[in-house]
């Protein structure tokens, strides 16, 4: 009878402050009215359960300003606030911390609202930013490597998270599709009639690339023809252009296959590679010389930037044109920065690129400010990530010492996941198995990458990433699956739940409720500090709290019907939080695994 209404489809966007925000507002107002001072009360989740739900640590700062005793200041504020319906108890502890215990009614009411909200309490930004996210960045005619995999996975999570907040996100895949290295490859391919050979595969290009390089290094006449090819390509000569275009097309198609397989949102339209900026480089360079931003130094064009010196204290130049007239990676990036801030009008530009390029981006941002007078309000951020290491803590390689082929890595992830799933469900159809294995395998790979503090190198381990226990993708997907199993067993349609009253009698219910209500705070913090791994930690916390709750609090067998309903509600909200959180990381959930 209580599943008569189809409420899921009636979920609304209900703007509501999270408990933490409510507390901030209340304390801020109390400080203001007591002392006439505007101060951030710095409300934090309590570090230990006995300290309550939240802690406020402002009293020490405030007391200093007032030349008073911090405990007294804290006590005075507690007295002022104590009567409200939000608190069960406020207590002063230590040198002047305030421990905040929320009232059950307040928390229960908040959760009832959350259950109706399609966004789980996350507000849509009222001042959306225009954010360019530069990610992917593979190189034409080369295999993508694990570094590019990290860029794709991390960049995509930012795209999803920032779009969900309501920002205008523009994906840019800065493909390496231009440069002098194409001269030798084109010359080599022209020679071997590659264009008319329809049996070649993408992987063959790797071999051709190596062979072309070897010819270039050992055969002087070949090297000269290769150099002439660079000029021909730049001037738009037909054959060279055609071969280059075919290389680009085949590479893009190959990259797209990998992105699709990984369920990365990048599309061919997002590929705005280095070649896109090619015809702007000369104009940009001469303009910068004219305006005195760049200067000629020993025949090259450079920008000198404050604060960049070598070990001996000599100025370290940002090189934008070589002595031979060639332009560089840096020149293209400068043109791209102009395009992104001035044409696309981005006020935030994020580069999800290997940490080894730190110096390049630091100089690029300084050069951009100097060259285009970018306002300080424009946020330029290098979202750097470390290398992927093997279990021997050396850069990840195959047993024979070659670099790992990305597609083989993905195949392996799916294969291992399929073995795992098949053990539990020997009766799956091949299609079902393939789809679950893909979600589990790719999800595990993505999760392992995202949960690592991205700046550190991360150690790649199939066993760890695919484990059902611990902070892993499969653990979280499995938590979701377990909740769906509860619904199935109870013959409950989670998409068809009526609004019902939440009751928080047990400690585990209360603890889970606090976790669930913190989702918007976590998203808000990440959008400022960009620590995407804290979303992983949060989801892991939610799942762990859920398991503890489920161990202690019977759901379907709860004797009291109201308690049963309330617990079903907590289950449903947990499932939605897990599914939403994982989807922001680009990871799917499914109904069995
Ligand atoms: N293609 C480059 C590489 O493989 C990455 C490009 C990153 N984006 C950029 N705007 N520089 O290292």
- 5: pLDDT strictly greater than 70: no
What distance in angstroms lies between residue 174's CA and the mean position of ligand 1's atoms?
A: 6
List, by residue range, all CATH 3.30.1360.70 domains of the chain: 2-102
What's the pLDDT band for 186 if we cut at 50, 70, 90? very high
**Which of the listed residues 172, 176, 273 should we mutate to test ligand 1's pocket, taking the one with most ligand atoms within 8 A of CB?**
176
Reduce the secondary structure of 44-70 to three states and give it as a string.
EECCCHHHCCEEECCHHHHHHHHCCCH
Distance 362 CA to ligand 1 centre (A): 14
Pairing relationship of beta strands 458-459 and 54-56 according to DSSP bridges: unpaired
Whether the per-residue pLDDT at 9 is higher than 60: the answer is no
Convert the pLDDT of each residue in 562-589 to its tens digit. Answer: 999 999 999 999 999 999 999 999 999 9
Amino acid 2: pLDDT: 37
17-75: per-residue pLDDT in tens?
999 999 999 999 999 999 999 999 999 999 988 899 999 999 999 999 999 999 999 99
State residue 500's pLDDT score: 79
pLDDT of residue 1: 30
Please give the distance, rounded to the nearest whole angstrom, from the Cα atom of residue 382 to the centre of ligand 1. Answer: 11
Say which residue, 128 or 207, is predicted with more confidence. Answer: 128
Q: Whose CA is nearest to atom 2 of ligand 1?
A: 137
d(CA 228, CA 237): 11
Ligand 1 atom closest to the Cα of residue 333 is 10
**Is it the case that residue 178 has pLDDT exceeding 70?**
yes
pTM over 0.75: yes
pLDDT of residue 403: 73
- What was the pLDDT predicted at 395? 80
Lowest mean pLDDT among 156-170, 315-329, 445-459: 445-459
CA distances from 556 to 341, 469, 559, 567, 571 (A): 55, 25, 9, 8, 11
Out of 1.10.730.10, 3.40.50.720, 3.40.50.300, 1.20.58.480, select the CATH number for domain 406-584: 1.10.730.10
Between 116 and 456, the higher pLDDT residue: 116
**Nearest alpha carbon, ligand 1 atom 11:** 333
Where do the CATH 3.40.50.620 domains begin and end in the chain?
Answer: 130-176+274-389
Which residue has its alpha carbon closest to ligand 1 atom 9? 174
Assign 355 to helix, strand or coil.
helix
Rounded CA separation 486/492 (Å): 8
Q: Enumerate residues lining ligand 1, CB below 6 A.
A: 134, 137, 139, 174, 176, 333, 336, 351, 353
Is pLDDT larger for residue 577 or for residue 403? 577
Mean predicted confidence (pLDDT) in 400-427: 90
- Span(s) in the chain for CATH 1.10.730.10: 406-584
How far is the centre of ligand 1, averaged over its atoms, from the C-alpha of 137 (Å)?
5
What stretches of 140-280 show up as alpha helix (H) in DSSP?
146-165, 181-191, 202-218, 220-235, 238-261
| Residue whose CA is at the smallest distance from ligand 1 atom 7 | 137
Given ligand 1 and candidates 133, 134, 135, 137, which is best to mutate, with the most ligand atoms within 8 Å of its CB? 137
pLDDT digit string, tens, across residues 376-389: 999 999 999 998 88
- Decide: 174 and 211 in contact? Cβ < 8 Å: no
Which numbered atom of ligand 1 lies nearest the CA of 354?
A: 12
Binning pLDDT at 50, 70 and 90, where does residue 3 land?
Answer: very low
Mean pLDDT of the chain: 93
CATH architecture assigned to 130-176+274-389: 3-Layer(aba) Sandwich (3.40)
Positive or negative, the Cα torsion across 324, 329, 332, 334? negative
Sequence length of the chain is: 593
User: What residue's CA is closest to ligand 1, atom 12?
Assistant: 137
Query: Where is average pLDDT lowest: 140-149, 443-452, 500-509?
Result: 140-149
Distance separating alpha carbons of residues 585 and 155, to the nearest angstrom: 10
Give the residue, out of 357, 361, 362, 403, with the most ligand 1 atoms within 8 A of its beta carbon, to mutate for a pocket test.
357
pLDDT, position 10: 63
Q: Give the span between the Cα atoms of 365 and 172, in whole angstroms.
A: 17
The model's pLDDT over 190-227, given as tens digits with 9 standing for 90+, comes to: 998 888 888 888 888 888 988 999 999 999 999 999 99
- Rounded distance from Cα 453 to ligand 1 centre (Å): 21
CA of 173 to the centre of ligand 1 (A): 9
What's the CA gap between 1 and 94, in Å, rounded?
52
The ligand 1 atom nearest the CA atom of 176: 1
How close is the Cα of 493 to the center of ligand 1, in Å? 47
DSSP character for 388? E
- Find the 330 Cα to ligand 1 centroid distance in Å: 10
Q: The CATH number of 2-102 is which of 3.40.50.11740, 3.90.1150.10, 3.90.380.10, 3.30.1360.70?
A: 3.30.1360.70
13 alpha carbon – ligand 1 mean position (Å): 39
What is the tens place of the pLDDT at every residue in 89-114?
999 999 999 999 999 999 999 999 99
pLDDT of the residue at 402: 73
pLDDT, position 243: 96
């Amino acid at each position: 009878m209580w599943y008569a209404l189809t409420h899921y489809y009636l979920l609304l966007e209900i703007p509501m402050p999270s408990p933490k925000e409510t507390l901030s507002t209340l304390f801020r107002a109390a400080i203001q009215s007591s002392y006439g001072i505007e101060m951030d009360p710095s409300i934090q989740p309590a570090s230990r359960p006995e300290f309550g739900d939240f802690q406020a640590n402002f009293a020490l700062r405030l007391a200093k300003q007032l030349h008073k005793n911090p405990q007294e200041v804290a006590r005075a504020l507690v007295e002022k606030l104590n009567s409200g319906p939000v608190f069960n108890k406020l207590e002063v502890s230590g040198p002047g911390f305030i421990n905040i215990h929320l009232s059950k009614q307040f928390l229960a009411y908040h959760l009832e609202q959350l259950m109706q909200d399609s966004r789980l309490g996350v507000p849509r930004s009222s001042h959306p930013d225009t954010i360019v996210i530069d990610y992917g960045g593979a190189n034409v005619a080369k295999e993508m490597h694990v570094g590019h995999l990290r860029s794709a996975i991390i960049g995509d999570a930012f795209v999803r998270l920032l779009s969900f907040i309501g920002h205008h996100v523009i994906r840019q895949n800065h493909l390496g599709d231009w440069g002098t290295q194409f001269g030798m490859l084109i010359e080599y391919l022209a020679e071997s009639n590659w264009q008319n050979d329809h049996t070649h595969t993408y992987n063959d290009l790797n071999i051709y690339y190596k062979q072309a390089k070897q010819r270039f290094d050992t055969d002087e006449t070949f090297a000269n023809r290769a150099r002439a090819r660079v000029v021909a390509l730049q001037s738009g000569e037909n054959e060279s252009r055609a071969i280059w275009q075919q290389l680009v097309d085949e590479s893009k198609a190959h990259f797209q296959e990998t992105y699709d397989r990984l369920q990365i949102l990048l599309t061919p339209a997002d590929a705005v590679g280095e070649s896109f900026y090619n015809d702007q480089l000369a104009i940009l360079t001469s303009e910068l010389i004219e305006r005195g931003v760049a200067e000629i130094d020993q025949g090259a064009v450079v920008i000198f930037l404050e604060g960049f010196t070598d070990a001996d204290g000599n100025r370290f130049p940002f090189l934008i044109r070589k002595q031979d007239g060639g332009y560089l990676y840096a020149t293209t990036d400068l043109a791209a920065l102009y395009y992104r801030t001035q044409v696309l009008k981005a006020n935030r530009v994020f580069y999800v690129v290997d940490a080894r390029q730190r110096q390049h981006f630091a100089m690029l941002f300084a050069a951009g400010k100097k060259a285009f007078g970018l306002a300080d309000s424009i946020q330029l951020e290098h979202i750097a990530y470390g290398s992927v290491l093997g279990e021997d803590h050396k850069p990840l390689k195959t047993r024979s010492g070659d670099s790992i082929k990305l597609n083989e890595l993905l195949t392996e992830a799916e294969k291992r996941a399929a073995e795992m799933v098949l053990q539990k469900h020997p009766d799956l159809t091949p299609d079902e198995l393939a789809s679950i294995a893909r979600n589990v395998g790719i999800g595990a790979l993505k999760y392992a990458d995202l949960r690592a503090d991205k700046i550190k190198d991360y150690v790649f381990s199939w066993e760890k990433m695919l484990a059902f226990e611990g902070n892993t993708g499969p653990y979280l997907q499995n938590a979701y699956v377990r909740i769906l199993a509860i619904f199935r067993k109870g013959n409950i349609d989670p998409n068809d739940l009526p609004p019902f009253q939440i009751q928080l009698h047990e400690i585990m219910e209360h603890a889970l409720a606090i976790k669930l209500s913190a989702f918007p705070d976590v998203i808000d913090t990440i959008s400022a500090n960009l620590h995407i791994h804290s979303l992983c930690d949060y989801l892991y916390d939610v799942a762990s709290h859920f398991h503890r709750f489920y161990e202690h609090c019977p759901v379907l067998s709860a004797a009291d019907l109201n308690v049963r309903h309330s617990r079903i509600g907590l289950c449903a909200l947990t499932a939605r939080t897990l599914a939403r959180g994982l989807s922001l990381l680009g990871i799917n959930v499914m109904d069995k695994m």
